[in-house]
Amino acid sequence: MIDKTRTGVAFFDSRYGGVYRGRPFLVSGRSGAGKTVLGLQFALQGIQQDERTLMLSVWRAKDLMIMSDSLGLPMGAAVSNGMLALLEYSDFVPGRDREAQWMLPPDGFLQLQNFIDQHAIRRVVLDTVLPWIALRTNPEKLSEHLFSFVRAFERMGVTALFTMPRPVSPAAFRLKNKLEELMPVAITLQRPEETTGNWTCIVTKYLGEACVDEGIPYQIVRGVGMTERSGTPPAPIAAAPQHAVATPSAPLPKPLPTPAAPVPVPAAAGAARRILFSSVINGMENNTPAGNERGGR
C-alpha cells in the first residue's frame, strides 16, 4: 500500500499530501536557502506523530539546538525524552561546496544502520548526504553505489530527508541528477539572488504527479519555519511533545570516554578525510568513531 506522511511544511503538505512514507526524498539548494530549517520541521513533524527521529548534520548538536530555539522550533524536550537523536559530523572539512573532497567512512553506514535498527528510528534527516555518496569512482560504480544506498534506507522502512548543496561543478551536477533519478520526490530551494527577489521552493520531481510547481515563494517565520509567502499569518508549529514516551527496545548509548587523538593520515591516502560521529542523546554527549581514513578512488 502506498502511503504518505507529512513533512511539516504546510504549503507543501497541502499541495501534495506530504512525501511517500518509507522512501527518501531530496532537498537541494545553496547555503542559507533553508535546507536545515526544513530538516528541523521534518524532524518535529515526525515527533508529533510519535515517530522516533534521527538527525545527522554538519552542525554541532548544541549549535543546532541553539538555532532551533532561536527559530522558535525547540527540540530540547524531544531530545530529553528520547524521541530525537542528534548526531554530527564532528570534524567535518570546511568548504562545503568542495564536494570532491568529501569521503565515505568505510564502516560508517553499518554503524548508522545499527543505530536506526536498535533504537526504532522511523525518520532520518541527513543534512548533508554528500559524505555518503561523493565517491571518486567511475560512473558505473557510482550508479551502483547510489542505487544500493537509496535502497538500503527503503529496506529499513524509514522516511528519510537527504539534503545536498547546490552543485558547483559538472561532476556535482551529474551526482545530483543520478541521485534525483532514484528519488520519488525532489525539491530545490532558491535564495532571493537566484530568483526575482523571493526565496522559492521548486518541486522538480514528484512521482505520480502530471506536473509540478513552477515555484512557491516562501519565508522563514519564527515559531513556524518555512511558510508560503502570503498575506495570511501562518499558524505556529506545536511544541515537541513533553509527555513521557515508551522505553525503546534497546537502551540509549551511555557516554563514551573521549577518544584518543586521531591517527595521522598516511601520505599515500592523499586527500582522505576522517569523519567522526558525535551525538547528544537524552542530554548526554558522546563521541563515537564512525570509520577510518579512506583514500579516494
| Cβ proximity of 101 and 93 under 8 Å | yes
pLDDT value of position 26: 97
Q: Give the chain as a 3 state SS string.
A: CCCEECCCCHHHHHHHCCEECCCEEEEEECCCCCHHHHHHHHHHHHHHCCCCEEEEECCCHHHHHHHHHHCCCCCHHHHHCCCEEEEEECCCCCCCCCHHHCCCCCCHHHHHHHHHHHCCCCEEEEECCHHHHCCCCCHHHHHHHHHHHHHHHHHHCCEEEEEEECCCCHHHHHHHHHHHHHCCEEEEEECHHHCCCCEEEEEEEECCCCCCCCCEEEEEECCCEEEECCCCCCCCCCCCCCCCCCCCCCCCCCCCCCCCCCCCCCHHHCCCCCCEEEEEECCEEEEEECCCCCCCC
The pLDDT of residue 266 is 27
Residue-level pLDDT at 104: 52
Number of domain units in the chain: 1
Comparing CA positions, the residue from 15, 55, 21, 14 lying closest to residue 36 is 55
Domain extent, residue 233, equals 4-289
CATH of the domain at 54: 3.40.50.300
In a domain, 234, yes or no: yes
How far apart CA 252 and CA 76 sit, in angstroms, is 16
In a domain, 116, yes or no: yes
Each residue's pLDDT expressed in tens, for the chain with a length of 297 residues: 689 999 999 999 999 999 999 999 999 999 889 999 999 999 999 999 999 999 999 888 889 999 999 999 888 899 999 999 998 876 444 444 444 445 555 677 888 888 999 999 999 999 989 888 877 777 788 889 899 999 999 999 999 999 999 988 888 899 999 999 999 999 999 988 766 678 899 999 999 876 666 788 999 889 888 889 875 444 454 444 443 333 333 333 333 233 333 222 222 223 333 445 665 443 333 333 333 333 222
Q: Is residue 143 part of a domain?
A: yes
Task: Specify if 295 maps to a domain.
Answer: no
Name 164's Cβ contacts closer than 8 Å, sequence gap at least 6: 26, 27, 28, 128, 129, 130, 176, 179
Q: What is the 3-state secondary structure (H, E, C) of 231-281?
A: CCCCCCCCCCCCCCCCCCCCCCCCCCCCCCCCCCCCHHHCCCCCCEEEEEE
At 24 the pLDDT is 97
N residues, the chain: 297
Does residue 294 fall inside a structural domain? no
Residue 278 pLDDT = 60
Residue 296, exposed/middle/buried by CB under 10 A (0-12, 13-18, 19+)? middle
Q: Is residue 296 part of a domain?
A: no
pLDDT at 270 (0 to 100): 31
Strand partners, 71: none
